[in-house]
Structure 1
Amino acid sequence: MATLSQQIPLPALVEMVEVIAARRALVFAKELGFDKVVMEGDSEPIINAILGDHMDYAYMGHVMQDIKFMFPSFSIISVKHIHREGNCVAHKLARRAIRSHFLVWMESIPPNVLDVYQLDLLRLQ
């Protein structure tokens, strides 16, 4: 339905990038008026923290709190851990953000991810 690729200035820890990306994905879904959301991430500790499992990451607690405050904005929200191999499209879009600061596609597939998108679809069948 929509794709966003955006550079995130690299903070000290990769975990912070994961949390900021998760927050941005929810903001994007909210901006587009989506009511049902599935959020997937390949960092199991971060996904567990978003789901409410205890994690002592005080330096990113404010971003985690923003994520949890957005949950009621959606009628259905699912948060799942997925191995990187399970979502090659997200990985390729993250790599694209290194070259391009901010790109959005609506109702289309970015040309450079079409191959991995098709592979993801085949894995679902």
Structure 2
Amino acid sequence: MELEAMRAGLLLLIHQGMDGVDIETDCAVVVTALKGNMEDLSEVGCIVDDCKDYMSAIPSYNLQSIYREANDVAHRLAHLARCTL
């Protein structure tokens, strides 16, 4: 769900023409996957690839992991992504 929310958020950033954004998640695994150069052969590898492609279309961003208590926005987006699938 974190990756689905990330993908939806990145698409929104691109369509709104935003740059200079901070992208935060409380899932360190997602940050590692998105910052890594290894091919992801897992079940969610295609979502990781989509997110990487979308991030490359954003001129300036900062991707970071934050504490779970500080990440209410990502949880709401993940819930929204789950409800729309």
Same-fold call, TM > 0.5?
yes
Aligned pair in 2 of structure 1 residues 70, 89: CA closer, same or farther (>3 Å)? closer
Could you say what secondary structure the match of 1:40 adopts? strand
Corresponding position of 1:71: 55
Unaligned runs of 5+ in 1: 1-16, 103-125
Greater radius of gyration (CA): 1
Higher RCO (CA < 8 A, seq sep 6+): 2
Q: Which sections of structure 2, spanning at least 5 residues, go unmatched?
A: none
Query: Structure 1 segments of 4 or more deviating over 4 A?
Result: 53-57
Count of residues in correspondence between the two structures: 83
Alignment RMSD (CA, Å): 2.6
**Cα 1:94–1:22, aligned 2, differ >3 Å: closer, same or farther?**
closer
Distance in 2 of aligned mates of 1:49 and 1:95: 17
Which residue of the partner structure matches residue 42 of structure 2? 58
Indicate the residue corresponding to 1:84 in structure 2: 68
The residue that corresponds to 1:107 in the other structure is none
The answer (yes or no) to whether the contact 1:18–1:46 under 8 Å persists in 2 is yes
Task: Name the structure with the higher strand share.
Answer: 1
Distance 1:45 1:53 in 2: 14
Greater per-residue helix proportion: 2
Q: Percent identity?
A: 27
Q: Does 1:39 align with 2:20?
A: no
